[in-house]
Chain A
């Protein structure tokens, strides 16, 4: 396929401008068996994440006597993409994304509180449209918060890239395929530290600088969506309570 023009008159293929996120909808605790879970629809991405634990880390050799170990499994459903059938389970890409996602949450979970235990984070991509690792981290963050596992921050992630010499926020699949660079970033919003940073393509040092700024700015919207999702069930309850008085 020929490379499509990704930006025309300042508008992207789906009508967004360079700084606009796709619509984000998050709901809490769709997986009743888990300690905490969350479901996210981010553009056409549909991802469910669930957290189990803290529980005894097994097999025993994985235990750390000083702190909890974090385990993470990111996978894409074989029917998730608009293209051909994918192979189910872990491929090399999934192994790497699982690893960097695990490292994001190792950074924020108060692991010292649960020596010998494990906390398992599952991210299942049901439908994919670019930026699934970022959406998965944003979703898992809410699942962890919903589980009540203590964290010192609630990370979010989003990708920034470059197309037609313009930096663009939150690349979808077509943009991801044809852009000249892609840089997924996770941020701890409280300290604005960079917790995940990957990149490939072609960026100048100034692009990197401005890209990170765009991602930090986008945190206002994403963090709000995460917080509102966590509050929603309690707000409903309090509404009901008010009505019954």
Chain B
């Protein structure tokens, strides 16, 4: 029996009693911080920490062509970089399936909730603003989904809107805000044995059997993604959807307070 197996057994036993190594109960987030505008060169930016997990989201806007199926709207693209400096298991190279999944799940949460008012990003026939949301993972200690979703939301919420004047993009001077239509955040739960817990750190995450991310706004579920090789019962999904509506209130408040709302 090796150390990993022993730790795994210890963790499962501990969780079955409803306690965690860092003193949290099963459905508590770690300490969360949001710092807005860390990268003034970018149209928007936010650095978010969940315990030791640190994610920097950067927003850039460029003028380009609208998507062919949405000719009268702007577009949005989300990328995620699991930087090699963030953890010893992250390698350089093309995005891993994990990075692609992270970017696409965060993207769906933003897109499905109509967080960016893309209708207002239309410029003229064949021209629109394209919004780039880039997620830079600077330190990995679990739960990249929620930290990245929150960083993206906070960065978008505070992003400025460049101008397009006489064929040129003006990024400085008196600028308005990027048009925002809604606010969505996510809650990600892991299943370890028979226990379900919110906001796993890295040492919990490696033992997770299954994972589920639920993104929502005030009223609706906006995106979901089950991950890993475990499965959930229908009743567990119902319970976690309900939990998410309860937990997400604080997350939305944190984003709103960055704009003094």
Chain A residues at the B interface, C-beta cutoff of 8 Å: 92-93, 95-96, 98-100, 103, 106-107, 181, 183, 188, 191-205, 207-209, 212-213, 216
Question: B219, B222, B237: which contacts A197 (Cβ < 8 A)?
Answer: B237
- Cα distance A96–B227 when bound, in Å? 11
Q: How far is the CB of B143 from chain A (nearest CB, A)?
A: 18
Q: How far is the CB of B183 from chain A (nearest CB, A)?
A: 14
Given contacts A103-B229, A200-B112, A213-B234, 9 further A-B contacts (CB under 8 A): A92-B95, A96-B104, A99-B101, A192-B234, A194-B237, A200-B111, A200-B222, A208-B221, A208-B237
Q: Does B245 contact A (CB under 8 A)?
A: yes
Question: A193, A200, A213: which contacts B232 (Cβ < 8 A)?
Answer: A193
- Please judge, given known A-B contacts A200-B111, A205-B221, whether A98 and B234 are in contact too, CB under 8 Å: no
Residues of B close to A96: CB separation below 8 A: 97, 100-101, 104
Q: Does B233 contact A (CB under 8 A)?
A: yes
Instruction: Kindly report which residue of chain A lies nearest to residue B227, judged by CB atoms.
Output: A103
Chain B residues numbered 201-253 whose CB sits less than 8 Å from any CB in chain A: 212, 219-234, 237-238, 241-242, 245
Instruction: Kindly report which residue of chain B lies nearest to residue A213, judged by CB atoms.
Output: B234
CB <8 Å contact, A204 and B220? yes
CB <8 Å contact, B233 and A193? yes
Question: B101, B112, B237: which contacts A202 (Cβ < 8 A)?
Answer: B112
The 9 A-B pairs with the shortest beta carbon distances in the complex, nearest first, are A106-B229, A193-B231, A199-B224, A197-B226, A200-B112, A200-B108, A99-B97, A95-B100, A200-B223
Residues of A close to B229: CB separation below 8 A: 103, 106-107
CB <8 Å contact, A199 and B238? no
Question: A103, A203, A212: which contacts B220 (Cβ < 8 A)?
Answer: A203
Q: Does B56 contact A (CB under 8 A)?
A: no
CB <8 Å contact, A196 and B226? yes
A-B residue pairs in contact (CB < 8 Å), sample of 14 = A93-B104, A99-B100, A99-B101, A103-B226, A103-B229, A181-B112, A188-B231, A197-B212, A198-B224, A199-B221, A199-B224, A202-B221, A204-B220, A207-B221
CB <8 Å contact, B111 and A92? no
Residues of B close to A212: CB separation below 8 A: 234, 237
Question: B219, B226, B242: which contacts A198 (Cβ < 8 A)?
Answer: B226
Q: How far is the CB of A168 from chain B (nearest CB, A)?
A: 17
- Cα distance A237–B165 when bound, in Å? 75
- Please judge, given known A-B contacts A96-B104, A103-B228, A199-B223, whether A205 and B97 are in contact too, CB under 8 Å: no
Q: How far is the CB of A65 from chain B (nearest CB, A)?
A: 11
Q: Does B159 contact A (CB under 8 A)?
A: no
- Cα distance A181–B111 when bound, in Å? 12
Residues of A close to B231: CB separation below 8 A: 107, 188, 191, 193-195
Residues of B close to A193: CB separation below 8 A: 231-233
Interface string of B82-112 (1 = CB under 8 A from A): 0000000000000101101101100010011
Interface string of B153-188 (1 = CB under 8 A from A): 000000000000000000000000000000000000
- Please judge, given known A-B contacts A95-B100, A183-B224, A199-B223, whether A208 and B112 are in contact too, CB under 8 Å: no
- Cα distance A198–B112 when bound, in Å? 13
Question: A106, A191, A204: which contacts B221 (Cβ < 8 A)?
Answer: A204
Q: How far is the CB of B187 from chain A (nearest CB, A)?
A: 13
Instruction: Kindly report which residue of chain A lies nearest to residue B241, judged by CB atoms.
Output: A205
- Cα distance A209–B226 when bound, in Å? 15
CB <8 Å contact, A208 and B226? no
Instruction: Kindly report which residue of chain A lies nearest to residue B226, judged by CB atoms.
Output: A197
Q: How far is the CB of B180 from chain A (nearest CB, A)?
A: 17
Question: B100, B108, B212: which contacts A92 (Cβ < 8 A)?
Answer: B100
Instruction: Kindly report which residue of chain A lies nearest to residue B224, judged by CB atoms.
Output: A199
Instruction: Kindly report which residue of chain A lies nearest to residue B212, judged by CB atoms.
Output: A197
Residues of A close to B112: CB separation below 8 A: 181, 200-202
Q: How far is the CB of B115 from chain A (nearest CB, A)?
A: 13
CB <8 Å contact, B232 and A208? no
CB <8 Å contact, B222 and A202? yes
- Cα distance A184–B219 when bound, in Å? 21
CB <8 Å contact, A201 and B234? no
Residues of B close to A103: CB separation below 8 A: 226-229
Residues of A close to B219: CB separation below 8 A: 204
Instruction: Kindly report which residue of chain A lies nearest to residue B245, judged by CB atoms.
Output: A205
Instruction: Kindly report which residue of chain B lies nearest to residue A195, judged by CB atoms.
Output: B231
Residues of B close to A216: CB separation below 8 A: 234
CB <8 Å contact, A198 and B225? yes
Residues of B close to A198: CB separation below 8 A: 224-226
CB <8 Å contact, A107 and B230? yes
